[in-house]
Structure 1
Amino acid sequence: MLPGGLIPSVSWRVLIVESDLSDAETLAGALRRHSHEVDIVATGSGALRAYPDADLVLLDLELPDLDGLEVCRAIRAAGEVPVIAVTARGSELDCVLGLQAGADDYLPKPYGFRELMARMEAVMRRARPAHPPVNVIISGPLRIDAGTRQVSLRGRHIETTRKEFDMLHLLASHPETVIPRKRLMQQVWGDSWSRRTVDTHVSTLRNKIGADWIITVRGVGFRFGPEPQAGTAPE
């Protein structure tokens, strides 16, 4: 058990969107003591730039530049990053509007840290239900075997480096999701990476399996592409 009787959780990257820096730092410190990584932004525009790198967004609706509900709608329209509205707007109507804007949960201020943690756990359980690991990913003619770390295309073995395999497997494991470049860098390369390194590996992997399997989402990152049309993959 963690201090205060909280049940240990996995580590998440939490984005706090809060215009009150003192409140944000206090909350960030408590979350870091429970092993979470935390980023803080004070504006809606900052939230729209930073949220792709987060596992969970704690969004204050009272922001100095943009309406918090509009920020919530924009995040929800762009992807599946969970959002908890944490705000002084505590009426029933405010709660309804927040949930209609796409928030996964709504927590009026003031609140207890234990309640916040419980709500975060519940939201993340829904967002990331537990499934046994997928050892073999098959997408059309492409087969990725995590057990043997082998890739084959139309039955032909494709030689990949360790990093190429890790990158392809990560993308293929989330076929409907854009993986931000920063997260790809951190999960595949850890602390030893550069933008050029990622681009070089993407290029060499595309040369081996075909360009259409890895789609660049400009300004964000990469996603696993649909099965290419006949004739577009290398023979």
Structure 2
Amino acid sequence: MSAGRSQILVVDDDEGLRDLLVRYLNDNGYAATGVGDGMAMRSHLLTHPVDLILLDVMLPGEDGLSLARGLSGAGAPAIIMLSARGEEVDRIVGLEVGADDYLPKPFSHRELLARIAAVLRRRQPVVETGRIRRFGPFVVDVEARRLTRNGEEIGLSGAEYALLRVLLDHPDRVLSRDALVELLKGYERAPFDRMVDVRVTRLRRKIEQDPAHPVYLRTVWGEGYLFSPRGGQT
């Protein structure tokens, strides 16, 4: 992510909306620039660092979905798709081609700011300084065995903390129940496999906004669990 203010590129052929969004984002702490089509977007990306792209689906020439597909990969900017088409199938397609989020028009400016902040936060790397670990809005003090979110402490049982510590030490890896049991032996006397599912459920209630649809601690069916510090984003 760029140093200083986050760099945002607004790609929309509606000049009035584009200019409005650029002004609003600049007034709210971002460094925003606007372009009207895919060709101008690519030209801008060649010479300017960009942290996040607000990308309209319906563009002249190459459409936003095709552009998003071409931007996927390590080091690519985050993408929030914008579209007047808000049907579920359109949102799913947008996410499948590599977008980080999908915002149907019309949208409120406050919602846009919230979505941008959430996507950029998920893109932040996990920071490890020995004592302090971070993922999303959470901070873990491993010496104090303390979990906070935005400065507010979240109570964890000893068993929940042990699981979280194992997950922090093995990010972005699928861990089977047997593997988790073995790893938990470093933190407790006699873990067993059936307690893993219960512990995962309890921990999800503490760290997931929607435990039924987790983004940090996900189930990989038939294999085990995967802890994604960036909230499921690459």
TM-score normalised to the size of structure 1? 0.50
- From 66, 84, 87, the counterpart of 2:62: 66
CA distance in 2, matches of 1:122, 1:79: 18
- From 13, 35, 38, the counterpart of 2:29: 35
Per the alignment, residue 106 of structure 1 pairs with 102
Per-residue CA distance 1:109-132 (angstroms, 9 max, x = gap) = 000111111111111111114525
Contact 1:48-1:75 at 8 Å conserved across structures = no
Q: How does 1:193-204 map to 2 (within 5 A)?
A: none
Structure 1, gaps ≥5 residues long:
1-9, 135-235
1:35 CA drift (Å): 2.0
Per the alignment, residue 83 of structure 1 pairs with 79
Paired residue type of 1:16: V
TM-score normalised to the size of structure 2? 0.50
Give the 3 Å change call, closer, same or farther, for CA 29–133 of structure 1 in structure 2. farther
CA distance in 2, matches of 1:71, 1:133: 37
Per the alignment, residue 167 of structure 2 pairs with none
Per-residue CA distance 1:1-32 (angstroms, 9 max, x = gap) = xxxxxxxxx72110000100100111111111
Of 44-53 and 54-63, more deviation after overlay is shown by: 44-53
Secondary structure of residue in 2 paired with 1:121: helix
Paired residue type of 2:98: G
Matched, 1:95 2:96: no
Secondary structure of residue in 2 paired with 1:90: coil
1:76 CA drift (Å): 1.0
Give the 3 Å change call, closer, same or farther, for CA 128–78 of structure 1 in structure 2. closer
Per the alignment, residue 203 of structure 2 pairs with none
Paired residue type of 1:41: V
Of 123-132 and 100-109, more deviation after overlay is shown by: 123-132
Contact 1:28-1:38 at 8 Å conserved across structures = yes
Q: Which runs of 4+ in 1 moved over 4 A?
A: none
Per the alignment, residue 10 of structure 2 pairs with 16
Report the RMSD for the aligned CA atoms in angstroms.
Answer: 2.0
What number of residue pairs does the alignment pair up?
125
Paired residue type of 1:115: E
Give the 3 Å change call, closer, same or farther, for CA 26–133 of structure 1 in structure 2. farther
Per-residue CA distance 1:188-217 (angstroms, 9 max, x = gap) = xxxxxxxxxxxxxxxxxxxxxxxxxxxxxx
Paired residue type of 1:40: G
Secondary structure of residue in 1 paired with 2:120: helix
1:78 CA drift (Å): 6.7
Paired residue type of 1:57: I
- From 19, 24, 34, the counterpart of 1:25: 19
Give the 3 Å change call, closer, same or farther, for CA 77–130 of structure 1 in structure 2. closer
Identity %: 38
CA distance in 1, matches of 2:13, 2:72: 21
Per the alignment, residue 47 of structure 1 pairs with 41
Paired residue type of 1:86: L
